[in-house]
Chains A and B, each alone.
Chain A
Amino acid sequence: MLRAIRHKSIHPAFCAFRAFSSAAKEMTVRDALNSALDEEMSADPKVFLMGEEVGEYQGAYKITKGLLDKYGPERVLDTPITEAGFAGIGVGAAYYGLRPVVEFMTFNFSMQAIDHIINSAAKSYYMSAGQISVPIVFRGPNGAAAGVGAQHSQCYAAWFAACPGLKVLTPYSSEDARGLLKAAIRDPDPVVFLENELLYGELFPVSAEVLDSSFCLPIGKAKIEREGKDVTITAYSKMVGYALKAADILAKEGISAEVINLRSIRPLDRSTINASVRKTNRLVTVEESFPQHGVGAEICTSVVEESFGYLDAPVERIAGADVPMPYAANLERMAVPQVEDIVRAAKRTCHRSVPLAATA
């Protein structure tokens, strides 16, 4: 009841959660992102927003709600529908020293601008031997939504994370959203910030520390969402929630899963992942994207390179199906990982230690 009232009364740009004295505070990912943008714009006049419908429409997904009113049209810019154009403008502004936050309505549209992200942004500091730095953030929803079909459902984490010069972040919770977005905006390098449309409305608990305007999470550090000792499950974005559900199910069957929320795809926190695998000896990687050359492939290789002797079973990889995303609901369900897929893969890694009698 209280939750519903809070939702109706929220103007995210002016929200003052600290006014509420109750102990456990919750925040949607949407509000987390909005408050992060608001605070960073307030703290640094060089930060500005750009993207389709970010201003007058209040944001295609309402992430930028209230910010045009608060900061004006010089700092919140509605762009025409030309990703190549406005991504280029954003990068040029970053060359000059401003700190743009460029929104892609979804990262599927970033492919129109990918030349600017890679060739104009990611590589410039290197090519100029340090003369031209590019403090830009490209953000927006990434990966599958629901029923939007093949051209609107791809996950771009692996593509961007392959590129030196970029940093790639994938928040899951509201704490992640706040801390990582603030870190991204403050970071002097180009950051690709991959959100997820289906997470925008989810509520997560947030501590007072998280709500503080100075809160920031370190880039390049994964979070152990749940400790365990039998199998390591890595995931990012929406799949973290699925991995946690899988861990609950596994726990009932006597398998203790350690769930790692990657938070950062580039840099990838190889040391946390490897330390965990050295403890559990088993690994399941989970991602929503196409399997080939994906994040899971990189994680598997890292573990094989650094912790081969610790593996008691082959690494398992759960990923989206190797097909363009179908529209029909049943096929779509088969095209993305489900909780049961993660459970099954985890059990496969534990197979040797599960007595045959127990599976009967």
Chain B
Amino acid sequence: MALSRSGSKLLKPISPFFSSAPSILSRSISSSNDSITVETSIPFTAHNCEPPSRSVTTSAAELQSFFRDMALMRRMEIAADSLYKAKLIRGFCHLYDGQEAVAVGMEAAITRKDCIITAYRDHCTFLSRGGTLIEVFAELMGRRDGMSNGKGGSMHFYRKQGGFYGGHGIVGAQVPLGCGLAFAQKYSKDENVTFAMYGDDGMGTAEWRAAKSPAYYKRGDYVPGLKVDGMDAFAVKQACKFAKEHALKNGPIILEMDTYRYHGHSMSDPGSTYRTRDEISGVRQERDPIERIRKLLLAHEISTEAELKDIEKEVRKEVDNAIAKAKESEMPHPSELFTNVYVKGLGVEAYGADRKELRATLP
């Protein structure tokens, strides 16, 4: 349990909160009266708009929850790597480690009534929208306790009640889908926004092969844009807050999150044909999102080194426990082959490979 350091004014009883919510992410709560101001790593670069300030308000509670949440995501993705190599995860697996600041910073700026839709690198986004570790690992291993009952797999995580609309395998498809979500919010007069997330390529295609013009934040032409240090959770938080306000008043805006994934594009991409090992370790040294928060926590004397190491140990245990539980989850029942094809199946028959052997009536 994280103990408070005596004498610190920023001390707040966070530990009971953490212990009561073992396997879901903490929502950032600014319960502290003392707000802390942090500066983003670099100023924002703007296209067709005035950039927001570099000064971001936060709190001890938020700093601690950022640390814990990102550490959890990091551990989860690394564990997924091992499970994939152990052949417990099959097919595609796209890992997010390195990019945690985007998921966590965005979540801190929005509500669950705002929508997020993304591509296939969706494990951490699912978690940030209220998903649990067991749902993640069970789904990755194709078990019935996965959030999609084992029928989706790594690329098809959804949490509609948390405003998370997937989880999409076709590169770029989620962009017009996200526009549709935003359109529906506007149509329904909800004062909420949609974040449609997409990357700069697929398959690990090198940037110079994927795009002629890499100034992505300007690619919207008349659409305003902001370039953001995606390794800085506070820059992300500030940008998303700014973007939400902008979108509600003026319409779409593009946020280019300059982020970095440590793994290759997927488990079949070594991630070393288009970059050097030095580049990767350089980013780890200079820009790692978790390290940034660690430094802030230490600098503001909110936590000690030992406390942070303890949190990392806890998180590791949580992930291991979740994996153990997920492994106990069974594969879906064979009858699940035919469920959820339609909302209204009209009593029609569906067939297996040998229709004289296997048929089902769709309810």
Contacts and interface: CB of A to CB of B under 8 A. Distances in A.
Partners in one complex: yes
B299 interface: no
A323 to B, nearest CB: 32
Majority DSSP secondary structure for residues of B touching A: loop
Interface in A104-120: 115-116, 119-120
A94 B341 contact: no
A96 B180 contact: yes
A305 B355 contact: yes
Interface string B163-202: 0011111100101111111111101100000000000000
Nearest to A130: B340
B115 A127 contact: no
A193 interface: no
A93 interface: yes
Contacts of B341: 125-126, 164-165
A224 interface: no
User: Among A86, A90, A129, A135, which residue has the most Cβ atoms of chain B within 10 A?
Assistant: A129
A132 B147 CA distance: 12
Interface of A: 48, 74, 84-98, 115-116, 119-120, 124-133, 135, 164-165, 167, 187-189, 218-220, 267, 270, 305
A262 B180 CA distance: 33
Nearest to A134: B343
A85 B173 CA distance: 9
A165 B342 contact: yes
A89 B184 CA distance: 9
A169 to B, nearest CB: 12
A306 B344 CA distance: 25
Contact of A115 (B173, B181, B339, B342): B173
Contacts of A132: 158, 160, 165-166
A114 to B, nearest CB: 11
Interface in B331-350: 339-344, 346, 348-350
A120 B177 CA distance: 8
A129 B348 contact: no
27 contacts: A88-B177, A88-B179, A91-B176, A91-B177, A91-B180, A92-B184, A93-B187, A95-B181, A96-B180, A96-B188, A98-B184, A116-B176, A125-B343, A127-B148, A127-B152, A128-B148, A128-B152, A128-B160, A129-B340, A130-B339, A131-B159, A164-B341, A165-B342, A187-B344, A189-B342, A219-B346, A267-B348
User: Among A89, A96, A133, which residue has the most Cβ atoms of chain B within 10 A?
Assistant: A96
Nearest to B168: A120
B94 interface: no
A85 B158 contact: no
Contacts of A129: 147-149, 151-152, 339-340
A98 B179 contact: no
B341 to A, nearest CB: 5
Contact of A92 (B147, B151, B183, B346): B183
A89 B177 CA distance: 5
